[in-house]
Protein backbone atom coordinates (compact mmCIF):
# COMPACT_ATOMS: atom_id res chain seq x y z
CA UNK A 1 0.00 0.00 0.00
CA UNK A 2 1.16 3.43 -0.88
CA UNK A 3 1.72 5.74 2.03
CA UNK A 4 -1.05 8.29 2.24
CA UNK A 5 0.28 11.77 1.75
CA UNK A 6 0.09 13.95 4.83
CA UNK A 7 -0.61 17.03 2.67
CA UNK A 8 -3.82 16.05 1.00
CA UNK A 9 -4.97 18.46 -1.74
CA UNK A 10 -7.83 20.82 -0.98
CA UNK A 11 -11.14 19.69 -2.26
CA UNK A 12 -13.34 22.17 -4.13
CA UNK A 13 -15.53 22.82 -1.11
CA UNK A 14 -12.55 23.74 1.05
CA UNK A 15 -11.24 26.19 -1.57
CA UNK A 16 -14.65 27.81 -1.78
CA UNK A 17 -14.84 28.18 2.01
CA UNK A 18 -11.36 29.71 2.10
CA UNK A 19 -12.28 32.27 -0.58
CA UNK A 20 -15.43 33.28 1.26
CA UNK A 21 -13.46 33.68 4.49
CA UNK A 22 -10.90 35.93 2.79
CA UNK A 23 -13.70 38.01 1.24
CA UNK A 24 -15.49 38.44 4.56
CA UNK A 25 -12.25 39.41 6.29
CA UNK A 26 -11.59 42.01 3.61
CA UNK A 27 -15.10 43.41 3.88
CA UNK A 28 -14.81 43.56 7.66
CA UNK A 29 -11.55 45.51 7.37
CA UNK A 30 -13.16 48.00 4.98
CA UNK A 31 -16.16 48.34 7.30
CA UNK A 32 -13.94 49.03 10.31
CA UNK A 33 -11.90 51.62 8.41
CA UNK A 34 -15.10 53.31 7.23
CA UNK A 35 -16.49 53.46 10.76
CA UNK A 36 -13.20 54.93 12.04
CA UNK A 37 -13.27 57.61 9.34
CA UNK A 38 -16.92 58.33 10.09
CA UNK A 39 -16.30 58.70 13.84
CA UNK A 40 -13.23 60.88 13.29
CA UNK A 41 -15.09 63.28 11.01
CA UNK A 42 -18.10 63.37 13.32
CA UNK A 43 -15.86 64.19 16.29
CA UNK A 44 -14.09 66.94 14.35
CA UNK A 45 -17.36 68.49 13.16
CA UNK A 46 -19.04 68.46 16.56
CA UNK A 47 -15.87 69.87 18.13
CA UNK A 48 -15.95 72.75 15.66
CA UNK A 49 -19.62 73.42 16.40
CA UNK A 50 -18.84 73.58 20.12
CA UNK A 51 -15.84 75.78 19.46
CA UNK A 52 -18.03 78.08 17.35
CA UNK A 53 -20.40 78.60 20.29
CA UNK A 54 -17.47 79.43 22.55
CA UNK A 55 -15.94 81.80 20.01
CA UNK A 56 -19.27 83.55 19.42
CA UNK A 57 -19.69 84.13 23.16
CA UNK A 58 -16.15 85.51 23.28
CA UNK A 59 -16.94 87.81 20.33
CA UNK A 60 -20.13 89.15 21.95
CA UNK A 61 -18.40 89.61 25.29
CA UNK A 62 -15.61 91.61 23.63
CA UNK A 63 -18.10 93.84 21.79
CA UNK A 64 -20.22 94.33 24.90
CA UNK A 65 -17.21 95.33 26.99
CA UNK A 66 -16.10 97.85 24.36
CA UNK A 67 -19.59 99.36 24.21
CA UNK A 68 -19.81 99.69 27.98
CA UNK A 69 -16.45 101.44 28.06
CA UNK A 70 -17.88 103.93 25.55
CA UNK A 71 -20.97 104.43 27.71
CA UNK A 72 -23.30 102.64 25.27
CA UNK A 73 -26.02 100.52 26.89
CA UNK A 74 -27.32 97.55 24.89
CA UNK A 75 -28.64 94.09 25.74
CA UNK A 76 -26.34 91.22 24.84
CA UNK A 77 -27.35 87.56 24.76
CA UNK A 78 -24.01 85.75 24.39
CA UNK A 79 -25.63 82.31 24.39
CA UNK A 80 -27.75 83.02 21.31
CA UNK A 81 -25.31 85.42 19.67
CA UNK A 82 -27.57 88.50 19.75
CA UNK A 83 -26.84 92.14 20.44
CA UNK A 84 -30.17 93.90 21.07
CA UNK A 85 -30.94 97.62 20.74
CA UNK A 86 -34.35 98.72 22.12
CA UNK A 87 -36.61 100.72 19.80
CA UNK A 88 -36.96 103.64 22.21
CA UNK A 89 -33.41 104.89 21.68
CA UNK A 90 -33.52 104.26 17.94
CA UNK A 91 -36.89 105.27 16.49
CA UNK A 92 -40.08 107.12 17.23
CA UNK A 93 -43.22 104.95 17.19
CA UNK A 94 -44.18 104.06 13.64
CA UNK A 95 -41.09 105.72 12.14
CA UNK A 96 -37.91 104.36 10.57
CA UNK A 97 -35.78 107.51 10.79
CA UNK A 98 -33.01 106.98 13.34
CA UNK A 99 -33.06 109.43 16.25
CA UNK A 100 -29.93 111.34 17.25
CA UNK A 101 -29.41 109.10 20.31
CA UNK A 102 -29.68 106.02 18.12
CA UNK A 103 -27.25 107.49 15.60
CA UNK A 104 -24.62 107.88 18.32
CA UNK A 105 -25.09 104.25 19.36
CA UNK A 106 -24.78 102.97 15.80
CA UNK A 107 -21.72 105.08 15.02
CA UNK A 108 -19.97 103.63 18.08
CA UNK A 109 -21.21 100.11 17.36
CA UNK A 110 -20.02 100.29 13.75
CA UNK A 111 -16.55 101.39 14.80
CA UNK A 112 -16.30 98.62 17.40
CA UNK A 113 -17.55 95.96 14.97
CA UNK A 114 -15.06 97.09 12.35
CA UNK A 115 -12.19 96.72 14.81
CA UNK A 116 -13.35 93.54 16.57
CA UNK A 117 -14.28 91.49 13.51
CA UNK A 118 -10.79 92.08 12.11
CA UNK A 119 -9.02 90.78 15.21
CA UNK A 120 -6.95 87.67 14.50
CA UNK A 121 -9.10 85.35 16.62
CA UNK A 122 -12.34 86.43 14.89
CA UNK A 123 -11.31 87.30 11.34
CA UNK A 124 -13.08 85.03 8.86
CA UNK A 125 -14.88 83.12 11.63
CA UNK A 126 -18.25 84.89 11.26
CA UNK A 127 -20.55 83.50 8.58
CA UNK A 128 -23.20 86.23 8.68
CA UNK A 129 -24.17 89.25 10.75
CA UNK A 130 -27.95 89.66 10.49
CA UNK A 131 -29.40 93.08 11.22
CA UNK A 132 -33.02 92.33 12.13
CA UNK A 133 -35.94 94.70 12.55
CA UNK A 134 -38.77 93.64 14.92
CA UNK A 135 -42.06 95.27 15.90
CA UNK A 136 -44.96 94.59 18.25
CA UNK A 137 -48.29 93.27 16.97
CA UNK A 138 -50.10 96.61 16.81
CA UNK A 139 -50.99 97.29 13.15
CA UNK A 140 -49.21 100.26 11.59
CA UNK A 141 -51.62 103.16 11.02
CA UNK A 142 -49.75 105.78 9.02
CA UNK A 143 -49.51 106.30 5.27
CA UNK A 144 -45.76 105.70 5.05
CA UNK A 145 -45.77 101.96 5.74
CA UNK A 146 -48.49 99.53 4.61
CA UNK A 147 -47.68 97.11 7.45
CA UNK A 148 -45.19 96.24 10.16
CA UNK A 149 -43.28 94.15 7.62
CA UNK A 150 -42.24 97.24 5.68
CA UNK A 151 -41.56 99.19 8.88
CA UNK A 152 -39.33 96.52 10.43
CA UNK A 153 -37.44 95.98 7.17
CA UNK A 154 -36.84 99.69 6.61
CA UNK A 155 -35.55 100.08 10.17
CA UNK A 156 -33.07 97.24 9.64
CA UNK A 157 -31.89 98.74 6.34
CA UNK A 158 -31.49 102.23 7.82
CA UNK A 159 -29.51 100.75 10.72
CA UNK A 160 -27.11 99.04 8.33
CA UNK A 161 -26.79 102.03 6.01
CA UNK A 162 -25.75 104.28 8.88
CA UNK A 163 -23.21 101.81 10.29
CA UNK A 164 -21.83 101.11 6.82
CA UNK A 165 -21.48 104.79 6.01
CA UNK A 166 -19.48 105.67 9.14
CA UNK A 167 -17.46 102.41 9.08
CA UNK A 168 -17.09 101.63 5.35
CA UNK A 169 -14.74 98.70 5.94
CA UNK A 170 -17.73 96.78 7.31
CA UNK A 171 -19.05 96.64 3.75
CA UNK A 172 -15.97 94.70 2.65
CA UNK A 173 -15.86 92.04 5.37
CA UNK A 174 -16.27 88.51 3.99
CA UNK A 175 -16.66 85.02 5.41
CA UNK A 176 -14.70 81.89 4.50
CA UNK A 177 -16.88 81.47 1.41
CA UNK A 178 -15.78 84.97 0.27
CA UNK A 179 -19.34 86.25 0.75
CA UNK A 180 -20.12 89.62 2.33
CA UNK A 181 -21.20 88.95 5.91
CA UNK A 182 -23.76 91.69 6.61
CA UNK A 183 -27.43 91.30 5.70
CA UNK A 184 -30.76 92.94 6.63
CA UNK A 185 -34.19 91.49 7.31
CA UNK A 186 -37.52 92.53 8.79
CA UNK A 187 -39.67 90.18 10.88
CA UNK A 188 -42.56 92.46 11.88
CA UNK A 189 -44.22 90.86 14.97
CA UNK A 190 -43.44 87.22 14.07
CA UNK A 191 -40.60 86.75 16.57
CA UNK A 192 -41.68 88.26 19.89
CA UNK A 193 -39.48 87.98 22.95
CA UNK A 194 -42.20 89.16 25.36
CA UNK A 195 -45.99 89.17 25.76
CA UNK A 196 -47.66 91.46 23.21
CA UNK A 197 -50.70 91.72 25.49
CA UNK A 198 -48.90 94.16 27.79
CA UNK A 199 -47.37 97.55 27.07
CA UNK A 200 -44.07 96.49 28.62
CA UNK A 201 -44.03 93.36 26.46
CA UNK A 202 -44.78 95.31 23.29
CA UNK A 203 -42.01 97.76 24.14
CA UNK A 204 -39.50 94.91 24.46
CA UNK A 205 -40.63 93.42 21.16
CA UNK A 206 -39.92 96.67 19.29
CA UNK A 207 -36.19 96.31 18.74
CA UNK A 208 -33.19 95.93 16.44
CA UNK A 209 -31.30 92.66 16.85
CA UNK A 210 -27.77 92.20 15.53
CA UNK A 211 -27.38 88.43 15.29
CA UNK A 212 -24.03 86.70 14.74
CA UNK A 213 -23.76 83.35 12.96
CA UNK A 214 -20.39 81.58 12.93
CA UNK A 215 -18.91 79.66 10.00
CA UNK A 216 -20.13 76.02 10.08
CA UNK A 217 -18.00 72.90 9.44
CA UNK A 218 -17.44 71.98 5.81
CA UNK A 219 -20.47 70.49 4.05
CA UNK A 220 -19.13 66.92 4.12
CA UNK A 221 -18.52 66.94 7.87
CA UNK A 222 -21.80 68.72 8.54
CA UNK A 223 -23.75 66.02 6.66
CA UNK A 224 -22.18 63.40 8.94
CA UNK A 225 -23.27 65.33 12.03
CA UNK A 226 -26.83 65.66 10.73
CA UNK A 227 -26.98 61.96 9.86
CA UNK A 228 -25.80 60.84 13.30
CA UNK A 229 -28.13 63.28 15.05
CA UNK A 230 -31.10 61.92 13.11
CA UNK A 231 -30.16 58.36 14.00
CA UNK A 232 -29.67 59.22 17.66
CA UNK A 233 -32.68 61.54 17.66
CA UNK A 234 -30.57 64.39 19.04
CA UNK A 235 -32.60 67.60 18.93
Is pLDDT above 60 for 15? Answer: no
Is pLDDT above 60 for 231? Answer: no
Task: Write the pLDDT tens digit of every residue in 34-90.
Answer: 665 555 555 554 555 567 888 999 999 999 999 999 999 999 998 899 999 998 899
Residue range 205-223: mean pLDDT, rounded = 78
Is pLDDT above 60 for 107? Answer: yes
Cα distance between the two ends of the chain: 77
> Residue 62's pLDDT is what?
95
Is pLDDT above 70 for 177? Answer: yes
Q: Biggest alpha carbon distance in the chain?
A: 117
Is pLDDT above 90 for 111? Answer: yes
Choose between 186 and 93: higher pLDDT. 186
Burial class, 151, CB count within 10 angstroms (exposed 0-12 / middle 13-18 / buried 19+): buried
- Residue 4 has a CB neighbour count (10 Å cut-off) of 6
CB 162 within 8 A of CB 107: yes
Q: What is the mean pLDDT of the chain?
A: 83
pTM comes to 0.73
Amino acid sequence: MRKKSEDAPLVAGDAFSLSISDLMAGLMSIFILTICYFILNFSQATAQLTQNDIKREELLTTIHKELEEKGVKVIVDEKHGVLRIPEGVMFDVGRADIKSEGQKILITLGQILEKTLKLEQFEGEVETVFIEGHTDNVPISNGEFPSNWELSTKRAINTWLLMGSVSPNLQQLKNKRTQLIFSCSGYADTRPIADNNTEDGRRKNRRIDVRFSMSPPVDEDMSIVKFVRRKLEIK
